[in-house]
Amino acid sequence: MSQTSAPQAPAAPSPPPTSVQPRPRLPRWATAAAFAGAAVVAVLLGVLTALNLVTFVLYTAVVGTLALWAVSRRVEGRRKAKDRLVTSLVLGAFAVTLVPLLSLVYEVVRRGVARLDGEFFNSSMVGIIGPGGGAYHAILGTLIITGLTVVMSVPIGLLTAVYLVEYGTGRLKRAITFLVDVMTGIPSIVAGLFAYALFAIFFGPGVRLGIAGAVALSVLMIPVMVRSAEEVLKLVPNELREAAYALGVPKWRTIVKVVIPTAIAGLGTSVTLAIARVIGETAPLLVTVGITNATNLDPFDGRMATLPVFAYYQLTQPGVPPEFGIDRAWTAALVLIMLVMGLNLLARLISHFFAPKTGR
């Protein structure tokens, strides 16, 4: 008995392929052209208004962003135009934010480089009324007080961070975290008043000591150190701790031999950034250390000079004629900026060279 197959219906013809035409794109030079035209418009607006560097950058950013968005909306469509708008807003905000920073650096360098000579670094202000003189005594005082601050703050901050990450639980951990957060936001003058009141109890009112300034700066440095070190220690993988525990290593030895060496680059960065945070403080040192024209290297005996206070007094009490004192103030500010910049570069180098290597 033969089997007959049912006739198959002919296949429906496939629809012809539709070609999607991509929308045209603006050339690469369109962004530069838009903002160049906006700069020309900003100059023309400046003829009618008082144009300075800030308003020029602001006009250029606003007009260039609107022009680029309008052209992109017409040529590339709404989606691409929105992407260009957000990108231009972010870059424009960055440019506007960069203006005061660059202006500050330019002004300090322009006015401070005139006295950045050998005399400024190897002479004090003893017997100086007009020209000449330097900040040798203030630079040494800043280094001594900052060094004492580091000696007091780093062990306390590091041990507190280790406790919070490795041991802390319950109410005590929450209380310490709350107090650290509160200390992070206290005004610097409050730290100076606290240190002054503490030393006035033992040495009487009117006391001025370098160690008192170091204590005041420690109050400001410890919470920064605790917070940054805590975050660095949290980045150490738990697998390293568990591997050490599996080998029978005690917890304290795991922290000393595994956790801290793994986080040493981040901890070094935390220390240098915390130093940069306090090295330029003026208010606590005005209250606790005061100022002197002579070189005093003993933080336990009398007043000491520091760079921030030296700059403050040279600006507020420049003498007659005043231009020489004001020049010394600008140069002291420049040296402070150089110190802070050097500390930040040191932090980057520590992070780069001492970070644990990954991979083979």
CATH of residue 151: 1.10.3720.10
CA distances from 32 to 35, 67, 155 (A): 5, 11, 52
Which one is predicted more confidently, 161 or 9? 161
Of 63, 94, 115, the residue that ends a domain is: 115
Average pLDDT (156-178) is 90
Task: Supply 323's token pair.
Answer: 């231009």
Give the contacts of 76 (CB within 8 A, at least 6 positions apart).
23, 24, 25, 26, 84
Task: Supply 8's token pair.
Answer: 């198959």
**Residue 11 forms part of a structural domain:** no
Q: Evaluate if residue 4 carries a pLDDT over 60.
A: no
Burial class (CB in 10 A: 0-12, 13-18, 19+), 143: middle
Same domain, 76 and 216: no
Same domain, 175 and 237: yes
Phi and psi for 192 in degrees, rounded to 5? -65, -40
Same domain, 192 and 85: no
pLDDT at site 13: 60
Same domain, 49 and 96: yes
pLDDT tens digits, one per residue of 99-157: 788 888 889 999 988 888 888 888 888 877 778 888 889 999 999 999 999 999 999 99
pLDDT at site 359: 46
pLDDT at site 200: 92
Task: Give the confidence band of 3 by pLDDT, cuts at 50, 70, 90.
Answer: low
Cβ atoms 21, 30 nearer than 8 A:
no
Task: Supply 32's token pair.
Answer: 């530069």
Report the number of distinct structural domains present in the chain: 2
Q: Evaluate if residue 8 carries a pLDDT over 90.
A: no
pLDDT at site 116: 86
pLDDT at site 146: 92
**Residue 359 forms part of a structural domain:** no
Domain residues for the domain of 101 are: 29-115
Same domain, 191 and 324: yes
- In percent, the amount of the chain with pLDDT more than 90 equals 24
pTM of the model: 0.78
Task: Supply 311's token pair.
Answer: 């700059």
Same domain, 191 and 308: yes
> CA torsion sign, 284 to 100 to 314 to 308?
positive
Same domain, 237 and 256: yes
> Residue 344 is which amino acid?
N
> What is the spatial distance between Cα 283 and Cα 328, in angstroms, rounded to a whole number?
19
Task: Give the confidence band of 194 by pLDDT, cuts at 50, 70, 90.
Answer: very high
Task: Give the confidence band of 16 by pLDDT, cuts at 50, 70, 90.
Answer: low
Average pLDDT (264-281) is 87
Of 83, 115, 147, the residue that ends a domain is: 115
Same domain, 107 and 140: no
pLDDT at site 14: 59
pLDDT tens digits, one per residue of 38-95: 888 888 877 777 777 777 877 888 888 888 888 888 888 888 888 888 888 888 788 7
Same domain, 194 and 282: yes
Average pLDDT (244-249) is 88
Which one is predicted more confidently, 31 or 19? 31
Q: Evaluate if residue 171 carries a pLDDT over 80.
A: yes
Alpha-helical regions (H) of 49-77: 53-75
Same domain, 44 and 148: no
> What is the spatial distance between Cα 87 and Cα 80, in angstroms, rounded to a whole number?
11
Which of 232, 265, 230 lies closest to 157 in space, CA to CA? 230
**Residue 237 forms part of a structural domain:** yes
Same domain, 195 and 308: yes
> What is the spatial distance between Cα 3 and Cα 236, in angstroms, rounded to a whole number?
76
Same domain, 98 and 128: no
pLDDT tens digits, one per residue of 205-233: 888 999 999 999 999 999 999 999 999 99
